[in-house]
Amino acid sequence: MTGPLIFTREDAIAIISINDAPYNRMTLEFMDALEVLVDTIAMDKTIRAVVVTGEGIDNFSVGMNLKQLPEGIKVKGSAEAVFDQRLAVISKIENMNKPWIATLFGYCLGGGLELPLGCHFRLAAEEGAQIGLPEMDLGAVPAWGGSARLSKCVGSHHALDLILRAKKISGPEAYRIGLVHETWPLNQLKDRAISLAHELAKQPAGAVRSMMSVIVGSENRSLDELLAAERSAVNANRGTPDSQEGMMAFLEKREPIFNRD
């Protein structure tokens, strides 16, 4: 299948696969396609969870195709414009209020980690993953929000260790420091991500949006602000068809069926 990415649907979930195996570079064409697709997913209420993966079983992504940077500067006007597009796309993913799940396997380097850092769930392969922001080896620094998000995710001490030493860590090590939520054998990883997406998509969509609006970015808000946001979420979800279904299912001792309104 041609094109910089492959987009498929399974019921209420979307699956995006970087289509440049075996390295799955995030080319200019990929970022343009992803930018359009992210906006489409944000507006599509029938999509309630998203999986981001890479084609094949070798690598999630080695990040940007650096050979394209001069072309990107020519097309978009400056290096800042190239980086700004990528920052904006990752920010839209992070703030969409729909859960995004990334699969980390093989090389997950540079942008191949920065994109997953903007996702809400990260699952890594138990074997073979090399995860990091090794820009120091190129005399450079992360440019798509990697240093900021990695610090918030794992703390400054782990972020400094990874970035200043250009380290590449395994899936189990990423789990140990809190960078990923789960590890799975490589041959089960993508299926597990899709299973998790279906699980999340079955949750009441309004309640999911409300909780994501409270929790995503919560480290930047005070406790009082978060309590106020939680109360707004409570009020927004009181008396909805899903809340009524949840209570009825509880009383009838059955599994609830949400998102039917």
Q: Which residues pair with 109 in a beta bridge?
A: 132
Give yes or no for residue 178 having a pLDDT over 80.
yes
Q: Where in the sequence numbering do the catalytic residues fall?
A: 114, 135
Pairing of the two strands 13-18 and 100-104:
unpaired
φ, ψ for residue 106 (rounded to 5)? 60, -145
Q: What pLDDT shows up at residue 190?
A: 98
Amino acid in position 219: E
Give yes or no for residue 261 having a pLDDT over 70.
no
Burial 103-113 (b: 16+ CB within 10 A, else e): bbbbbbbbbbb
**Average pLDDT value over all residues in the chain:** 96
Mean pLDDT of 208-216: 95
How many degrees, rounded to 5, is the angle at CA 9 between CA 56 and CA 145?
A: 65
pLDDT, tens digit, 9 for 90 and up, residues 137-162: 999 999 999 999 999 999 999 999 99
Residues 203/240, Cβ–Cβ less than 8 Å: no
Whose CA is closest to 131, among 197, 202, 68, 59? 59
Q: What pLDDT shows up at residue 2?
A: 78
Q: Which residues contact 199 (CB under 8 A, 6 or more apart)?
A: none
Q: What pLDDT shows up at residue 87?
A: 97
Mean pLDDT of 217-231: 94
What number does CATH give the domain 5-201? 3.90.226.10
Burial 8-27 (b: 16+ CB within 10 A, else e): eeeebbbbbbbbbeebbbbb
Conformational region of residue 81, where left means phi above 0, alpha means psi within -120 to 50, and beta covers everything else: alpha
Give yes or no for residue 9 having a pLDDT over 60.
yes
In the chain, what percentage of residues exceed pLDDT 70?
Answer: 99
Give yes or no for residue 182 having a pLDDT over 90.
yes
Query: Which band of pLDDT confidence, cut at 50, 70 and 90, is reported for residue 64?
Result: very high
Domain boundaries, the chain: 5-201, 205-251
Q: What pLDDT shows up at residue 260?
A: 84
Query: Which band of pLDDT confidence, cut at 50, 70 and 90, is reported for residue 1?
Result: low
pLDDT, tens digit, 9 for 90 and up, residues 65-100: 989 999 999 999 999 999 999 999 999 999 999 999
Whose CA is closest to 48, among 16, 13, 17, 97? 13
In the chain, what percentage of residues exceed pLDDT 90?
Answer: 97
